[in-house]
Amino acid sequence: MSVLILAVDQKQAVPISQSLGKINIAASCLSPNEKAPAFYSKYCTEKIHFPETFDRNKYAEYLKSLVKKRNYDLIIPCPDYST
């Protein structure tokens, strides 16, 4: 199973990636912040950095293309804007 966690610059993303990792679920972490806390977790199996944009359409298009390429089983949005 593979999971994409959105906006891992939010503090709640760290325990989410840790919980998934402890049960051997790969967690890809996505953030506009290169120093997002979850990027430093050993349970974050893939760090995905994208240019920060406040354009919801660009963000949605980026997510759609990423999900099509990687075929994630689950997407976990941390903040409201990711939902």
Q: Report residue 45's pLDDT band, with 50, 70 and 90 as the boundaries.
A: very high
CATH 3.40.50.20 applies to domain 2-82? yes
pLDDT at site 82: 65
What is d(CA 2, CA 57) in angstroms, rounded to the nearest whole number?
25
Per-residue pLDDT at 38 exceeds 70: yes
Domain ranges (residues) in the chain: 2-82
CB 38, CB 44: distance < 8 Å = yes
pLDDT at site 83: 62
pLDDT at site 80: 66
Q: Report residue 24's pLDDT band, with 50, 70 and 90 as the boundaries.
A: very high
